[in-house]
């Protein structure tokens, strides 16, 4: 069992930056692939980025590639999402998720545990 708690969301102007954190508790955090998803009002939850258990392999949605960076610190049981050059269309509730699979997944169905989310609002 893994519990996930996101933090770092807030209100930022377009072009600004935010750094989200996801603190995990429970066993074997370092064995989980971790992902970030987001959901805007009236839209489905969408994949943002993910990385494997040791952070050596990452994938990004095309919409955030080159602007967002995912990383993890297994010693601190934390995964991060650095978001730069934010746009109004990045406004959403951001969730982190953990998957026991060895493969990095883009589908929410591939993830076993979810946090409650942290709100990111980008003003124009």
pLDDT of amino acid 28:
81
87 CB neighbour count, 10 Å cutoff: 14
Model confidence at 1, in pLDDT bands (50, 70, 90)?
Answer: confident
- Specify the pairing of strand 10-13 against strand 118-123: parallel
What would the pLDDT profile of 18-75 be if each residue is shown by its tens digit? 999 999 998 788 889 999 999 999 999 999 999 998 888 999 999 999 999 999 999 9
pLDDT of amino acid 70:
97
pLDDT of amino acid 36:
98
């Amino acid at each position: 069992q893994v519990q996930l708690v996101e933090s770092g969301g807030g209100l930022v102007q377009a072009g600004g930056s935010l750094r989200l954190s996801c603190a995990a508790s429970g066993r074997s955090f370092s064995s989980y692939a971790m992902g970030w998803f987001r959901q805007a009002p009236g839209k489905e939850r969408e994949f943002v980025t993910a990385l494997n258990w040791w952070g050596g392999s990452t994938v990004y949605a095309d919409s955030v590639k080159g602007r967002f960076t995912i990383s993890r610190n297994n010693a601190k049981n934390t995964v991060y999402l650095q978001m730069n050059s934010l746009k109004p269309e990045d406004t959403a509730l951001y969730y982190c998720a953990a998957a026991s699979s060895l493969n990095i997944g883009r589908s929410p169905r591939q993830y076993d545990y979810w946090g409650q989310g942290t709100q990111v609002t980008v003003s124009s």
